Amino acid sequence: ELPLDELIASIAVDVPDFPEPGVVFRDLTPVFADAEAFRRVVDGLAAPARTDPRVAALRSGQDDPGFDVVVGVEARGFLLAAAVALAAGTGVVPVRKAGKLPRERISADYALEYGTATLELHTDSLHKGQRVLLVDDVLATGGTLGAAVGLVEQLGAVVSAVAVVVELPALGGREALAPHSVHALWTT
Ligand code: PRP
Ligand code: MG
């Protein structure tokens, strides 16, 4: 059996010059479409305590994954977060792009290459002290997940770990999210 990082690398497709010239886009859609790869990705994201001692330290017992709920970031994070929650035996909470959540919410702006974008979270979706596994597909600059971390913490919840399929270390996302624990299945 291939190690998971090699399996992901063998199925992901590099797309040159997308979304703009000079950028190589790592397309994970074929990884999610592959039954074995998707199962192993979800299992890997659902078990950060297996590889991260800081998450392992948060466990209260063998059946405790080290988090109480999974938070997924719209849009690609949604494909993963619900599956991870089901695998871990928790519920799932969405962080959404601006204007989509109907009830009382908090907002966080984050930088894009040109301009800014906004993420939102329902105010009553997490409670004080609740342990959160934050899930997305890609960690690049960390702008997206940094904004999501801010929203989670604004509600008094605690980030157990940030889990992603792919980390692009050249873009500094891990440093941007410090001191939070970043758990990446593939680093490239
Ligand atoms: C992509 C990706 C991550 C984010 C990573 O999302 O899915 O969420 O960028 O980049 P960063 O670390 O520099 O913030 P995008 O906003 O393109 O949209 P999508 O998930 O809705 O497709
Ligand atoms: Mg995204």
Tokens 């301009």 map to which residue? 115
Domains held by the chain: number: 1
CA distance 88 to 80: 12
Q: What is the CATH number of the domain that holds 49?
A: 3.40.50.2020
pLDDT tens sequence across 8-21: 999 999 999 999 99
3-state class (DSSP) for residue 110: strand
Q: Whose CA is nearest to atom 21 of ligand 1?
A: 75
Query: Closest by alpha carbon to 103, among 115, 92, 94?
Result: 94
Report whether residue 185 contacts ligand 1, using a CB cutoff of 6 Å.
no
CA distance 65 to 67: 6
Atom of ligand 1 at shortest distance to CA of 176? 12
CA distance 166 to 185: 6
Could you report the predicted ipTM of this complex, rounded to two decimals? 0.99
The Cα diameter of the chain in Å comes to 49
Domain of residue 31, residue span: 4-187
Query: Closest by alpha carbon to 123, among 91, 152, 163?
Result: 152
- Does the structure show a pLDDT above 80 at 114? no
Whole-number average pLDDT of the chain = 96
Active site residues: 76, 113
